[in-house]
């Protein structure tokens, strides 16, 4: 069994403040595979103090942005040789099918590091505007400060990169808390960061449970919280940050709708749903588990969906043929099972799957891929985030009703529209209240484009320029008209040049 004895605080591997540990359990074998130290409040205090010192007095926030870009690019170079190791670790600790781990869990984060540095390289850190009142105005983007980042277990490395890299590029210092279910890939990231030679205090990584997360979020030394997790937990984070007037971004839950128009191809839709609705064994906030089908071709689409879902291979996540792996914990398996029971009790028709372990498995936290049809949009299985391989089909009569049903949800994170008529698909997509949508595909997580939700799906955006701005404050400096034209030109030149800036670091 793999063991770790130290925590990564301020760039150094140090002894934890207590002897408490976290056992990492394989969701396939139900056996412990690793043991790591559990951070305690004293460790959080030490990490935040180091981050505070590094931000307030250290060089990192004060570097030219181009220098930070150059350093973070080295992280992408060091990441690539360890990609397969990361894929194996993620599959071990949370059960993602190895093919998904190799593509989305491990390959995509490496690509994102490079893409996000490209965004930073082109970002307008400073500009000079002609003020309406006659004085020139310098507009400067500066790092927000010490960032607390809370990472969930379902896409651990992907979401670590989504928060860590823009924060570093912006000039922030960061204390990152991975989920207790998935601390192993976070340790690899710590090793990679240690190789970069960052200034002391810039990054700390502290595995821990909810108590540690709550303590970190409410810590007076933190300037900004970036949280990804459930909507219920996000409300707690928002309340804590609101009382402290602390900046916060929240990427929360979803119950995304796949709107299938009546001219779509049933086979293409069914194949697409294995990704859109069942990626990562359904353990994805963007999973489109609410499928809206037109009544006039309802039977065709249902038959195609049933055939595809029934044929999905379930089992050992290290088997390349596996499409559906285990749930991350026994608790999550029981939660998903309870929703299947709830769907049957509410009157939805169970067409594929259902409760109990899949055939051939006598252990592991597995759920059979499940398809409910004839569901009402008001049912709990159509309204609440299940976070497992459970699809609910809701019929509709026309495009207007489809849009109404898609919007009849407290969530608004993702979604899709399926049709060969792109103009028609775009028309429907523009009417759906959601932060992201795809046409004839699930939304592609493009690091150049903003990602996030509306309504109960979150506040703020990640990726793209908009994601970078979540880690920045904007400062305006007005400049009185100069006594002579030459001195005015000199002042304008100095305020528009990053090299002429001091402090606040961008």
CATH superfamily of domain region 257-439: Aldehyde Dehydrogenase; Chain A, domain 2 (3.40.309.10)
Alpha carbon 29 to chain centroid distance?
Answer: 27
Please report the pLDDT score of residue 162 as a whole number: 97
**How do the residues of the chain divide into helix, strand and coil, expressed in percent and rounded to 5?**
45, 20, 35
User: Positive or negative, the Cα torsion across 47, 52, 55, 59?
Assistant: negative
**Distance, CA of 287 to CA of 279 (rounded, Å):** 7
Residue with tokens 């379930």: 314
Q: Which long-range contacts (CB under 8 A, 24 or more apart) does 448-452 make?
A: 448/115, 448/118, 448/119, 451/251, 452/249, 452/251, 452/413
**Distance, CA of 313 to CA of 325 (rounded, Å):** 9
Please answer whether residues 225 and 459 qualify as being in contact, where contact means their C-beta atoms are separated by less than 8 angstroms: no
476: exposed, middle or buried (C-beta count within 10 Å: 0-12, 13-18, 19+)? exposed
Residue with tokens 């029981």: 334
Q: Which residues are catalytic?
A: 251, 285
Question: What's 367's DSSP letter?
Answer: -
The pLDDT profile of the chain, 506 residues, written as one tens digit per residue, is: 899 999 999 999 999 999 999 999 999 999 999 999 999 999 999 999 999 999 999 999 999 999 999 999 999 999 999 999 999 999 999 999 999 999 999 999 999 999 999 999 999 999 999 888 888 999 999 999 999 999 999 999 999 999 999 999 999 999 999 999 999 999 999 999 999 999 999 999 999 999 999 999 999 999 999 999 999 999 999 999 999 999 999 999 999 999 999 999 999 999 999 999 999 999 999 999 999 999 999 999 999 999 999 999 999 999 999 999 999 999 999 999 999 999 999 999 999 999 889 999 999 999 999 999 999 999 999 999 999 999 999 999 999 999 999 999 999 999 999 999 999 999 999 999 999 999 999 988 899 999 999 999 999 999 999 999 999 999 999 988 765 455 444 444 444 443 334 334 33
**Distance, CA of 93 to CA of 27 (rounded, Å):** 7
* Tokens read off for 497: 């040049």
**Distance, CA of 89 to CA of 98 (rounded, Å):** 10
Dihedral of CA atoms 465, 467, 472, 477 in degrees, nearest 10, equals 30
**Distance, CA of 280 to CA of 182 (rounded, Å):** 15
**Any idea where the domains of the chain sit in the sequence?**
6-14+42-252+455-469, 257-439
User: Positive or negative, the Cα torsion across 155, 170, 461, 231?
Assistant: positive
Which secondary structure element, helix H or strand E, spans residue 34, and what is its range?
Answer: strand 32-37
Please answer whether residues 378 and 277 qualify as being in contact, where contact means their C-beta atoms are separated by less than 8 angstroms: no
| Residue 373 φ/ψ, nearest 5 degrees | -125, 170
Please report the pLDDT score of residue 444 as a whole number: 83
Please report the pLDDT score of residue 207 as a whole number: 98
**Distance, CA of 343 to CA of 254 (rounded, Å):** 18
Q: What is the pTM of this model?
A: 0.93
Please report the pLDDT score of residue 135 as a whole number: 86
Please report the pLDDT score of residue 486 as a whole number: 54
Paired sense of beta strands 290-294 and 126-130, if any: unpaired
* Tokens read off for 268: 């293409």
Please report the pLDDT score of residue 498 as a whole number: 38
* Tokens read off for 303: 């038959």
Closest C-alpha to 161, from 116, 119, 98: 116
Please report the pLDDT score of residue 483 as a whole number: 52
Using DSSP's 3-state secondary structure scheme, residue 328 falls into: coil
Paired sense of beta strands 290-294 and 224-228, if any: unpaired
**Distance, CA of 94 to CA of 301 (rounded, Å):** 32
CATH architecture classification, 6-14+42-252+455-469: 3-Layer(aba) Sandwich (3.40)
């Amino acid at each position: 069994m793999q063991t770790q004895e130290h925590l990564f605080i301020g760039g150094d591997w140090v002894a934890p403040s207590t002897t408490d540990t976290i056992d990492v359990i394989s969701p396939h074998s139900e056996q412990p595979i690793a043991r790591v130290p559990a951070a305690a409040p004293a460790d959080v205090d030490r990490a935040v103090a180091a981050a505070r010192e590094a931000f307030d007095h250290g060089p990192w926030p004060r570097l030219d942005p181009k220098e930070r870009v150059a350093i973070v690019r080295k992280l992408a170079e060091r990441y690539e040789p360890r990609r397969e190791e990361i894929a194996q670790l993620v599959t071990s600790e949370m059960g993602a099918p190895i093919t998904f781990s190799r593509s989305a869990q491990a390959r995509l984060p490496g690509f994102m590091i490079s893409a996000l540095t490209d965004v930073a390289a082109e970002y307008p850190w400073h500009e000079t505007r002609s003020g309406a009142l006659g004085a020139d105005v310098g507009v400067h983007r500066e790092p927000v400060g010490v960032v607390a980042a809370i990472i969930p277990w379902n896409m651990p490395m992907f979401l670590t990169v989504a928060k860590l890299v823009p924060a570093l590029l912006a000039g922030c210092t960061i204390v990152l808390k991975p989920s207790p279910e998935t601390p192993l890939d976070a340790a690899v990231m710590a090793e990679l960061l240690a190789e970069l030679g960052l200034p002391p205090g810039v990054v700390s990584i502290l595995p821990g449970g909810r108590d540690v997360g709550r303590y970190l979020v409410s810590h007076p030394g933190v300037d900004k919280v970036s949280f990804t997790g459930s909507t219920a937990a996000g409300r707690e984070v928002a309340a804590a940050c609101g009382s402290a007037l602390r900046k916060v971004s929240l990427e929360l839950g979803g119950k995304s709708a796949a709107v299938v128009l009546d001219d779509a191809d049933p086979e293409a839709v069914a194949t697409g749903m294995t990704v859109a609705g069942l990626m990562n064994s359904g353990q994805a906030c963007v999973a489109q588990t609410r499928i809206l089908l037109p009544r006039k071709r309802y039977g065709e689409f249902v038959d195609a969906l049933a055939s595809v879902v029934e044929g999905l291979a379930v089992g050992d996540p290290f088997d390349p043929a596996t499409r559906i792996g285990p749930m991350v914990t026994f608790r999550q398996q029981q939660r998903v099972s309870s929703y299947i029971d709830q769907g049957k009790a509410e009157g939805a028709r169970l067409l594929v799957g259902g409760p109990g372990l899949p055939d051939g498995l006598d252990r592991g936290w597995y759920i059979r891929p499940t398809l409910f049809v004839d569901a009402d949009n008001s049912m709990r299985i159509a309204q609440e985030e299940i976070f497992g391989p459970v699809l609910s089909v809701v019929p509709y009569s026309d495009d207007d009703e489809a849009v109404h049903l898609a919007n009849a949800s407290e969530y608004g994170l993702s979604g899709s529209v399926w049709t060969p008529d792109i103009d028609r698909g775009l028309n429907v997509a523009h009417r759906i209240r959601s932060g992201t949508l795809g046409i004839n595909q699930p939304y592609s997580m493009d690091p150049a484009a903003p990602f996030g939700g509306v309504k109960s799906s979150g506040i703020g955006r990640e990726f793209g320029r908009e994601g970078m701005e979540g880690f920045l404050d904007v400062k305006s400096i007005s400049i009185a008209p100069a006594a002579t034209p030459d001195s005015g030109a000199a002042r304008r030149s100095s305020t528009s040049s990053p090299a002429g800036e001091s402090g606040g670091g961008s």
